[in-house]
Structure 1
Amino acid sequence: MTEHRSTPSPSPAPDRRHRRRGSRARRRRGGRRRPVLWAGLAAGVVLLFTGGLVLQERTEPSGGSAGAAEASGAAGGSAAAERSAPRTVVESQEAADEPRGEGEKEEEGEGREKEKEKAPDAGSIPSSGPGTFATASGGGERVGGSARTLTYVVQVEDGIGIPARDVATEVERVLADARGWAADGQVGFRRVSHGASDFRVRLATAGTVDDICGRYGLDTGGEVNCNVGQDVMVNLKRWLLATPYYADDVTSYRALIINHEVGHFLGHGHVGCPGPGRPAPVMMQQIKGLHGCRTNVWPYDGEGRLVTGPAVG
């Protein structure tokens, strides 16, 4: 700054008498002031450069003009690309997530609500029936082990409004499951519709179940299922309503009914919970409580190991 203020103002040219002496003086003065002038030029460049950086930093966030963007060069273009990229990614992610995640959750929620709406009221379920049965027609393929094959029929009490064929489909699915009783590689099952059979799966009203089970001295109290002789008796109320532990998964509870009562037919007795947090055995009376176990409806686990617990007298 000082060198600008000390720079002499322009003056008229000197006459010839003083030209040589003035020329020498100017050379001497010029020689002495050259470093100062260079320093001034350097300082000006630095100020201009610094001013440019400050201007650039202030204008980029606000977007700037097209002229400023061109003046900033490739660095400015890069910065603009970096600023716009994150916004594009976020918007794309939101666009991808919103339709799928929320939509699927809403559909699942609506499905569960509809399922609950379809669940019958306990008061609408008939408590007694005629005690006669319709047998599901046709037959199924043999499933399970080859040591022995047990044949069975599926029957539904007349007048309860459930087709025998529908019940037969569910029973076949349960007995054919890889985690079912056939997982031991010994016993196999095959559904038949006529002729002799080893056992019968019978869906009936609570009154009929009480009557048939009571003939063998069992008190089912209008609430539970039983196995007596050749009959696997399934209480209609449990088939439709399950229990509090399976209220949201009635289909799984039906598997538990079949596996528990067929297990009795195969000679398995009641067992207890093997330990807190472990799967409840199917031969455990889960309707009376889980006692620290977690719900489970299959005799074997996914690796072919029997799920059991301490014997209960």
Structure 2
Amino acid sequence: MNAHRSPSAVSNGAPRHRRGRRARRRPRRTAAYRTALVLGVLLLLAGAYRLTAPIGAKASTAAPSASAPPSPTASASTEDGAKTKTKTDKKSGGKPFPDLSAIPSSGPGTFTTATGGKARFGGSSRVLTYRVQVEDGIGISAASVAAEVDRVLADRRGWTADGKTGFRRVSGAVSDFRIRLATAKTVDRICGEYGLDTGGEVNCDVGQDVMVNLKRWEVGTQYYPNDITAYRALIINHEVGHFLGHGHETCPGPGRPAPVMMQQIKGLHGCKVNVWPYDDEGRPLTGPPVQ
């Protein structure tokens, strides 16, 4: 049967020899292929390194200069220097600024009214009476504050320069408005009753009261480091200006006097310091209204 026929010697010998030779050659070709593949990969990697290495080196060189933070020592030194300068600047009269910790931040909330009165000064078309009051226990006399307020309101560069407005200080129980010097917490409380947040730092005009923060009265701001008397004039003129119906204004242009109704404590915005609503010639020093 063909299925069980054994192959002849000739037909079995030669083919087996050829298959054996092919079997021996196949590993050589595989090894050659592997060698070529490895060499190709190495060449590709070498080329990639030549292309990417210079770019990576440039980025790593530029990165530190672009992202390096400022020196903490320099920053701290600058801040400390600014704080020291604030404490050692001089007021008028050559006296150093008071230590902020020595200024009381709170008081009893009761006031002493300056005695005596003042003859009318300014115009007669609209004469307003005022009282000067100082919170008890802060170490400042009502008489000394009243003298400064009188001087400011009577100045020819003040609100009376319009030729109509006049003022007269009284000491009785009734007046058109009151100028009250008080501690920060008392100012915050009284101004807060009208929905204003003075934050322990600023003054306000509410109802019939012009509330003056003791800290501002004693220290001023960075824009008036050498003349606390001038800054007190700004406080009085600004807050009385609100009582007279004037709103906030802004700088009219670089180098020009800052309007007295400008919130100068927030910056001058290119203007020069100024504490009066009128100049020496009786011309109003105003700016665009704040919207």
Say whether the fold is shared (TM-score over 0.5). Answer: yes
User: Which residue in 2 is equivalent to 1:278?
Assistant: 256
Q: Deviations over 1:275-298 (max 9, x none)?
A: 000000000000000000000000
User: Which residue in 2 is equivalent to 1:125?
Assistant: 103
C-alpha distance in 1 between matches for 2:206 and 2:107: 19
1:307 and 2:280 matched: no
User: Which residue in 2 is equivalent to 1:207?
Assistant: 185
TM superposition shift of 1:195: 3.3
1:182 and 2:186 matched: no
User: Which residue in 1 is equivalent to 2:171?
Assistant: 193
SS of the residue corresponding to residue 245 of structure 1 reads coil
C-alpha distance in 1 between matches for 2:210 and 2:91: 32
TM superposition shift of 1:157: 0.1
Q: 1:173 aligns with which of 130, 146, 151?
A: 151
Quick one: which amino acid aligns to residue 305 of structure 1? R
Q: Is the 8 A contact 2:217 2:232 kept in 1?
A: yes
TM superposition shift of 1:141: 1.2
Aligned pairs for 1:3-22 within 5 A: none
1:237 and 2:215 matched: yes
User: Which residue in 1 is equivalent to 2:228?
Assistant: 250
Structure with greater helix share of residues: 1
Quick one: which amino acid aligns to residue 137 of structure 1? T
Structure 1 residues not aligned, in runs of 5+: 1-111
User: Structure 2 vs 1, CA of residues 282 and 113 (structure 1 numbering), >3 Å: closer, same or farther?
Assistant: closer
C-alpha distance in 2 between matches for 1:310 and 1:281: 9
Quick one: which amino acid aligns to residue 264 of structure 1? H
C-alpha distance in 2 between matches for 1:126 and 1:115: 23
Quick one: which amino acid aligns to residue 203 of structure 2? N
C-alpha distance in 2 between matches for 1:246 and 1:303: 24
SS of the residue corresponding to residue 166 of structure 1 reads helix
1:143 and 2:137 matched: no
Q: 1:294 aligns with which of 261, 264, 272?
A: 272
Q: 1:219 aligns with which of 175, 191, 197?
A: 197
Aligned pairs for 1:67-82 within 5 A: none
C-alpha distance in 1 between matches for 2:91 and 2:245: 40
Structure 2 residues not aligned, in runs of 5+: 1-89
TM superposition shift of 1:167: 0.1
C-alpha distance in 2 between matches for 1:113 and 1:259: 20
C-alpha distance in 2 between matches for 1:177 and 1:113: 21
TM superposition shift of 1:185: 0.6
1:262 and 2:245 matched: no
Q: Deviations over 1:159-201 (max 9, x none)?
A: 0000000000000000000000010011100000013100000
C-alpha distance in 1 between matches for 2:197 and 2:94: 30
C-alpha distance in 1 between matches for 2:141 and 2:248: 31
TM superposition shift of 1:120: 1.0
Output the aligned Cα RMSD.
Answer: 1.2
TM superposition shift of 1:115: 4.0
TM superposition shift of 1:113: 8.3
Quick one: which amino acid aligns to residue 126 of structure 2? R
C-alpha distance in 1 between matches for 2:203 and 2:164: 26
With the length of structure 1 as denominator, give the TM-score of the two structures: 0.63
User: Structure 2 vs 1, CA of residues 295 and 190 (structure 1 numbering), >3 Å: closer, same or farther?
Assistant: same
SS of the residue corresponding to residue 284 of structure 1 reads coil
Quick one: which amino acid aligns to residue 263 of structure 1? G
Quick one: which amino acid aligns to residue 169 of structure 1? A
Q: 1:156 aligns with which of 129, 134, 140?
A: 134
Structure 1 runs (4+) greater than 2 angstroms displaced: 112-119
C-alpha distance in 2 between matches for 1:248 and 1:144: 29
User: Structure 2 vs 1, CA of residues 134 and 246 (structure 1 numbering), >3 Å: closer, same or farther?
Assistant: same
Quick one: which amino acid aligns to residue 141 of structure 1? A
Q: Is the 8 A contact 2:92 2:226 kept in 1?
A: no
Quick one: which amino acid aligns to residue 216 of structure 1? Y
Q: Deviations over 1:35-93 (max 9, x none)?
A: xxxxxxxxxxxxxxxxxxxxxxxxxxxxxxxxxxxxxxxxxxxxxxxxxxxxxxxxxxx
C-alpha distance in 1 between matches for 2:279 and 2:92: 31
SS of the residue corresponding to residue 263 of structure 1 reads helix
TM superposition shift of 1:116: 4.8
User: Which residue in 2 is equivalent to 1:35?
Assistant: none
